[in-house]
Structures are given as structure tokens and as C-alpha cells.
Homo-oligomer: A and B are copies of this chain.
Amino acid sequence: MTDFTILGKKAKEAARILAAQDTKKKNEALLSMAASLRAHVDEILSANEKDVKAALEKGTSEAMIDRLRLTKERILSISADMEKIVDLPDPVGEVIEKFDRPNGLHIEKVRVPMGVIGMIYESRPNVTADAAALCIKTANAVILKGGSDAIHSNIAICEALREGLSRAGLPMDGVQLVTETDRAATLALMRLRGYVDLLIPRGGAGLIRYTVENATVPVIETGTGNCHIYIDKDADIEKGVSIIVNAKAQRPGVCNAAETLLVHEDIAENFLPKAAEALQNAGVKLLGCERTREIIEAEEADEEAYRTEFLDYILAIRVVPSTDEALSHIAKYSTLHSEAIVTENEDTAEYFLRRVDAAAVYVNASTRFTDGGEFGFGAEIGISTQKLHARGPMGLREMTAYQYRIRGCGQTR
């Protein structure tokens, strides 16, 4: 097995060198990495062919094969995305705050790289290039651990990226890939204390849980979204229908899609038949509480339904007697990702905003907007669902730490 201490030391040393680079140098490296991807299209495609063949032999579903498969166009598009990161503002070095103390000390709070970032992800090989680019832009070294399905593709992509880094005069160990794909390797990476400053798992609930339970390095949990849309008694029904249809059905497999619809009982008889029709036209299967099923046709929703992140064309519906009851339901089942209220009543909207504990809380908009691109961050390494450090979409800025720089003239206590 890889000696993870050596891997960690190499990453830490590369991080030290990266941290000393200016924006221009890091952007040159990104362009060089992008060019290297294009120069190695053939090698990457033939490595990818191996992964696809193995997946087909294993009887992998067509949807999964599609996530795995690279084409020349996809590689060129990955390379172009990398070049776009050049244009994003560099957060490193930004003075977040400065203040002087009565004793004459000048204190600056400055954005600095995190150091070494570990990424554990499943399947899609484009994450390898995306994550590496975001890390280099923020002067972080990265240790990548992709899924076994994409291992040949990842190795080929990573080799190309390292060559690009090296050609730009930066340490190739700024990007490293763990080539073992077993749990022991995952575990070793999660426990690289003193080397990994931040670990980001991206994948299903199982991966996230395994990481949180086993990691000894700091972790940011990402991407579990049991999101709710609450239709208040003062909702505009048309807005409500279009928001729930969008939040549920525009792309049901993503974390910011809605899973449960809560409806105030005063509006339920008016709202539910219209919503049900639109949702069923969009192919959504409905599960409902007793009161819901008195108004529209739906299968029975049990406790388990409210807990489930369906990631599919399925929606749980519950009629609630009050906004407070909606808030209690959300507090009980929310994964702290994105929650929304539809109401024309400003007081109710403010009441809701102040009482929901989630990364993003919406008034009269779809939860589908919780996304780095939609927030204008330009890029995104993941969506945090914990409260420490970063919440919601994590862009370049969220991949940095800060430090205090204090200038004195001999001060002592």
C-alpha cells in the first residue's frame, strides 16, 4: 500500500511552495494543466475505455456508465472549465479586516490557503480535474481519492495535470492521487493527522457517514438534502405550484431538489389539486398524510417517507395546521441544506427566515438555487450541510482559512 505519511509529507511540502505563489503564477499553472489535458486526450480516452469496459462487464447501469464515460468533447470541456477558473478572483491574500490596538499593535486578518485538502469522491472522473483546479487556484495541495470505477481515467487525468503543474514550474505533488481504491486506503487518508487540513467527502449518504465516523482530520460534510417547500396560508398559489414543480422535478437526483411539501391547512383545498395536477404531469408520484389524501389522490406517507431523500420523482406531502407546525416538521427532518416558504405575508416570511436552521432559507423561490454557480461564486467544490467553517455552496473563498498578521515595534505584555 501507498505510504500515506510520505504522501502527506509531499503534499505538505508542495502546499508550502504553492502558498508562496502569486495569482499570476497560479493562473499560469491552471492554463498549463488545461493544455496538458488537451495534449493527453488520447491517453485519457484509452484509460477511460478500460473503466467503461470493466463497468459494462460488471453489468453497471446505463446511467452510471454515462457518468463514467469520457469523450474528446467532454475532455475539451473539462479543460475549458479549468481555463475559466483563471478569471475568477483569487481570495488568497485578501485582508478581511484590520485593526489597531491601544498598545500600537497593527493586526490584520488575512485570507490564506487551507494547506492540504483531501477529496474523497465517487465515480465521475471530471471531479478529478475540477477539484485539482480549484485547489491550485487557492494555493492548496490536494490529495484525491476517486472511486474504483474510474481509477484508470483518474490516473491518466492526474498524470496530465501533474505534468502541467510541473511545466509551469510548480511542484507536481500539488496534485496527488491515491491509486488504491479499497477502504483501507480511504481510511488511511481520513486519518492523516498533521498532514490533511481539510477533508471533503463528495458522494452518497453512506460515504459521508463513513467519513464522519472514521476521520480524525477535520471534515466538511456535503450534499445530503432533505429539502422542504412550505406553502403558507397566504401563499400565491401560482407561485407555489411552479416552485414545487421546479424544486421537485427539474432535476430530482440532486441534493437541492425538494423531497417534502408542507401545506397550511387553510390553503390546502385550494392549492393541493392544482399542485397535484402539475406534479403528476411532470411524472411525480405523490405520497400524502391523511388530510392530503382526503383532498387529492396519493399513496400513504409514513414517518419513513418524511425522512427519505428520494432523489427521484417522488414527493411526500403533509398538511400542517400552522407555520409553527411546519417549522417543527422541518426542525425534525431537515438535513440543514435548503428550506423554502411560499407566502405573500412579509411578517410570516421573516418569522420563517429567522427560525429555520439550514444553510439556505428561501422566500418565494425554488431550493434548486443553492448552487455555487447560481450564487455567482463561479465554481463550487461542494455544498456544506454542517455549520462549522462554511455553509451551503463552497466556492474558492470557502477553500481558504485566515491568519492574523501582527506588526509591532517591540511590544511585550
**Residues of A in contact with B (beta carbons under 8 Å apart):** 12, 16, 19-20, 99, 101, 105, 107, 112, 114-115, 193, 197-198, 212-213, 216, 218-220, 236, 238-239, 242-243, 245-247, 250, 331, 349, 353-355, 357-366, 368-370, 374-376, 386-389, 391-392, 401-413
Please determine whether A389 and B391 come into contact, CB atoms closer than 8 angstroms.
no
A365: which B residues are within 8 A, CB to CB? 105, 406-412
Q: How far is the CA of A167 from the CA of B245 in the complex (A)?
A: 47
Q: How far is the CA of A349 from the CA of B405 in the complex (A)?
A: 11
Can you sample 10 A-B contacts with CB below 8 Å?
A16-B357, A213-B216, A238-B410, A353-B405, A361-B405, A361-B406, A364-B411, A365-B406, A368-B413, A369-B406
Q: How far is the CA of A346 from the CA of B337 in the complex (A)?
A: 46
A409: which B residues are within 8 A, CB to CB? 239, 364-365
Distance to closest chain B CB from A252 (angstroms): 13
Please determine whether A197 and B413 come into contact, CB atoms closer than 8 angstroms.
no
Residue ID in chain B nearest A402 by CB atoms: B391
CB < 8 Å: which of B19, B101, B193, B374 contacts A413?
A: B374
Please determine whether B357 and A410 come into contact, CB atoms closer than 8 angstroms.
no
Distance to closest chain B CB from A339 (angstroms): 10
Distance to closest chain B CB from A164 (angstroms): 25
Residue ID in chain B nearest A356 by CB atoms: B403
CB < 8 Å: which of B212, B218, B243, B388 contacts A216?
A: B212
Q: How far is the CA of A413 from the CA of B107 in the complex (A)?
A: 44
Please determine whether A360 and B404 come into contact, CB atoms closer than 8 angstroms.
yes
Residue ID in chain B nearest A392 by CB atoms: B404
CB < 8 Å: which of B331, B375, B407 contacts A16?
A: B331
Please determine whether A406 and B115 come into contact, CB atoms closer than 8 angstroms.
no
Q: How far is the CA of A370 from the CA of B351 in the complex (A)?
A: 39
Q: How far is the CA of A374 from the CA of B107 in the complex (A)?
A: 11
CB < 8 Å: which of B105, B114, B374 contacts A387?
A: B114
Distance to closest chain B CB from A305 (angstroms): 19
Counting from the closest, the 3 A-B pairs by CB-CB distance are A365-B408, A246-B412, A239-B410
Q: How far is the CA of A361 from the CA of B218 in the complex (A)?
A: 22
Q: How far is the CA of A13 from the CA of B312 in the complex (A)?
A: 32
Please determine whether B354 and A412 come into contact, CB atoms closer than 8 angstroms.
no
Q: How far is the CA of A401 from the CA of B359 in the complex (A)?
A: 9
Residue ID in chain B nearest A217 by CB atoms: B212
Distance to closest chain B CB from A297 (angstroms): 25
Distance to closest chain B CB from A36 (angstroms): 28
Residue of A219, A243, A357, A368 with most partner-chain B CB within 10 A: A357
Q: How far is the CA of A358 from the CA of B238 in the complex (A)?
A: 54
Please determine whether B405 and A366 come into contact, CB atoms closer than 8 angstroms.
no
A245: which B residues are within 8 A, CB to CB? 412
A360: which B residues are within 8 A, CB to CB? 403-406
Residue ID in chain B nearest A376 by CB atoms: B101
Please determine whether A403 and B391 come into contact, CB atoms closer than 8 angstroms.
yes
**A193-B212, A355-B20 known; A220-B388 Cβ under 8 A:** yes
